[in-house]
Chains A and B, each alone.
Chain A
């Protein structure tokens, strides 16, 4: 089969690999029909995530058709069209049994601080991902779900991470009626977080980024009030000014490890890997939220330390909430919202890239060329 393969920082190519095999009785092998490149894949691509091994296939957002199932699989059969959440989880451990699917203890031997994720380095379990023609899906009775007949495949693939994570980020903010919500980052997850904030009763939704085309999307897609932080000497001060000098009630960090806006932080984290991520967006979030407010973090950060302004968070009495999204818990409600027309995830898709051209796709997404917001990857197997 053809699969995207990591060759080292900033380098990927398509190689022939063996079709994955059933390795556990509850495995399924899924033939991928549509995958996506996620902003967090860029952290791997840039060599920021420890234990990202050459030869690995990335891709934690994918949908496809069940090709083969293991002997203990009861809920799926070959031919079923499935969507697969980015978390790999057993459904039975201490954490899964409480709904913390992204914190499953039975799938990632390499670390206890993070669960299992498809195609996301050995720090997340060493599973190959879905930017390929076939992928191994562990715990097939637990993770995947059949794609509803009425659902478009492009909407489905965005439910496997970006939409669910954006919605979860708004949820972590504990938004109340009339709250002012600020979202740092107008990438796919930030756009969905902004859109979801309205569903939870926000009174005002502000989005901050530096890419004008993304801010335009935040205005048109998420009805957000937008600010380009490069136009202000001090975006935190500006945020205070536009919120009656109180600060936003809720601030969502939808940027994560490679935040721009400070050259020193960029070099220290993204280039020299001295930090688990550039904390620029997170620190802006801590400074922009009102005292007693809530900061929600769904931007991906690496496992090493980052220079976060924790003292400010303490002194302002903030609630900091964060996690990887337990995707499957979100689905029933998200399906309702999509069906009702409140959410149309595929509206943010800008590029559809054949698997063979995935190196171009990664570069375009990394360098933010061609007004790219969300690239999908299309395997071309017959």
Chain B
């Protein structure tokens, strides 16, 4: 009853819950909750430095301009390269508060994927959209039974998703075919 000061009657009392649910109320006191208070100085972390040694910077490492300096430790997973690398370098000229920063990075991600798809065609292991999308698990993991006859909210857009995923591939194949045909026409 929200129109009086009364709290709604509980479905079960604390005693009933304690009896039914193992551990009920073990952390009832906020002091027993490990991140309370959230900021708590003086925790023993294992750090035995005031400021960490600096990891060698083997190539110019991109960084957010919101950092005063390169952090002492950083990941080295995939250095910038190619067109996507140039785009990412440009994105890091904007602060994290600017939409341009994130939008250029997202666009660079798509360019990066295409750069690698094209590069893979010149290798002994080209990209394989069948094995790399894991789509064969549709047959081994109850693809139909998992979806139909269920009340899944994602069902309406699942027909759309493959179009979004496969669309760029089909578009690229179409452009390539059109290009080859036009080249052959010019030669004849």
Interface core residue of B23, B114, B138, B140 (most chain A CB under 10 Å): B23
Chain A interface category by residue count: 35 or more
A271 and B164 within 8 A (CB): yes
A370 and B141 within 8 A (CB): yes
A23 and B76 within 8 A (CB): yes
Query: Is the CB of A12 closer than 8 A to any CB of chain B?
Result: yes
A200 and B151 within 8 A (CB): no
A26 and B153 within 8 A (CB): no
Binary contact track B3-39/A, C-beta < 8 Å → 1, others 0: 0000110111010010011111111101011111011
B67 and A112 within 8 A (CB): yes
Q: Shortest Cβ distance from A37 into chain B, in angstroms?
A: 11
B21 and A107 within 8 A (CB): no
Query: Is the CB of A266 closer than 8 A to any CB of chain B?
Result: yes
Binary contact track B75-103/A, C-beta < 8 Å → 1, others 0: 11110000010001001100010010011
Query: Is the CB of A97 closer than 8 A to any CB of chain B?
Result: yes
For the complex, what is the distance from the CA of A263 to the CA of B152, rounded to whole Å? Answer: 13
Nearest B residue to A203 via CB reads B10
A-B contact count (CB 8 A): 310
Query: Which one, A60-68, A183-191, A310-318, A338-346, is touching chain B?
Result: A338-346
A11 and B129 within 8 A (CB): yes
Chain B residue contacts of A319, Cβ below 8 A:
none
Chain B residue contacts of A337, Cβ below 8 A:
23, 26
B77 and A55 within 8 A (CB): yes
Query: Is the CB of A111 closer than 8 A to any CB of chain B?
Result: yes
Q: A99-B39, A141-B46, A360-B141 are in contact. Are A112 and B23 (CB under 8 A)?
A: no
Query: Is the CB of A127 closer than 8 A to any CB of chain B?
Result: yes
Chain A residue contacts of B36, Cβ below 8 A:
171
B156 and A201 within 8 A (CB): no
Query: Is the CB of B180 closer than 8 A to any CB of chain A?
Result: no
Interface core residue of A8, A203, A304, A368 (most chain B CB under 10 Å): A8
Q: Shortest Cβ distance from B149 into chain A, in angstroms?
A: 10
Chain A residue contacts of B99, Cβ below 8 A:
304-305
For the complex, what is the distance from the CA of A205 to the CA of B25, rounded to whole Å? Answer: 13
Binary contact track A332-358/B, C-beta < 8 Å → 1, others 0: 111001001111000000000000000
Chain A residue contacts of B113, Cβ below 8 A:
7-9, 11, 47, 54
Query: Which one, A28-36, A147-155, A228-236, is touching chain B?
Result: A228-236
A333 and B32 within 8 A (CB): yes
The contact of B50 among A92, A108, A223, A230, by CB within 8 Å, is A92
B75 and A201 within 8 A (CB): no
Nearest A residue to B58 via CB reads A23
Binary contact track A3-25/B, C-beta < 8 Å → 1, others 0: 00001111111000000000111
Chain B residue contacts of A326, Cβ below 8 A:
35
Query: Is the CB of A90 closer than 8 A to any CB of chain B?
Result: yes
For the complex, what is the distance from the CA of A338 to the CA of B80, rounded to whole Å? Answer: 44
Query: Is the CB of A78 closer than 8 A to any CB of chain B?
Result: no
The contact of B134 among A211, A341, A342, A364, by CB within 8 Å, is A364
Chain A residue contacts of B64, Cβ below 8 A:
109-112
Query: Is the CB of B182 closer than 8 A to any CB of chain A?
Result: no
For the complex, what is the distance from the CA of A126 to the CA of B155, rounded to whole Å? Answer: 34
Q: Shortest Cβ distance from A335 into chain B, in angstroms?
A: 11
For the complex, what is the distance from the CA of A370 to the CA of B150, rounded to whole Å? Answer: 13
Q: Shortest Cβ distance from B129 into chain A, in angstroms?
A: 7
Q: A142-B45, A198-B23, A359-B133 are in contact. Are A109 and B140 (CB under 8 A)?
A: no
For the complex, what is the distance from the CA of A106 to the CA of B78, rounded to whole Å? Answer: 19
Chain A residue contacts of B25, Cβ below 8 A:
177, 198-201
Chain A residue contacts of B152, Cβ below 8 A:
210-211, 230, 368
Binary contact track A198-232/B, C-beta < 8 Å → 1, others 0: 11110110000011100000000001000011110
Chain B residue contacts of A244, Cβ below 8 A:
1-2, 8
Q: A92-B45, A122-B77, A371-B146 are in contact. Are A203 and B132 (CB under 8 A)?
A: no
Chain A residue contacts of B128, Cβ below 8 A:
13
B43 and A230 within 8 A (CB): no
Q: Shortest Cβ distance from B70 into chain A, in angstroms?
A: 5
For the complex, what is the distance from the CA of A116 to the CA of B67, rounded to whole Å? Answer: 14
Query: Is the CB of A43 closer than 8 A to any CB of chain B?
Result: no
Query: Is the CB of A125 closer than 8 A to any CB of chain B?
Result: yes
B153 and A210 within 8 A (CB): yes
The contact of B102 among A90, A96, A304, A359, by CB within 8 Å, is A304
Q: A23-B76, A90-B73, A360-B134 are in contact. Are A55 and B116 (CB under 8 A)?
A: yes
Binary contact track A50-81/B, C-beta < 8 Å → 1, others 0: 11111111000000000000001011000000
Closest 8 CB pairs of A and B: A342-B23, A363-B134, A8-B113, A126-B75, A91-B47, A91-B45, A127-B75, A50-B105
Q: List 19 A-B contacts (CB under 8 A).
A: A7-B132, A57-B77, A90-B73, A91-B47, A99-B43, A100-B38, A106-B72, A116-B73, A125-B74, A126-B74, A126-B75, A127-B77, A180-B8, A198-B25, A201-B28, A211-B152, A271-B160, A334-B34, A363-B135
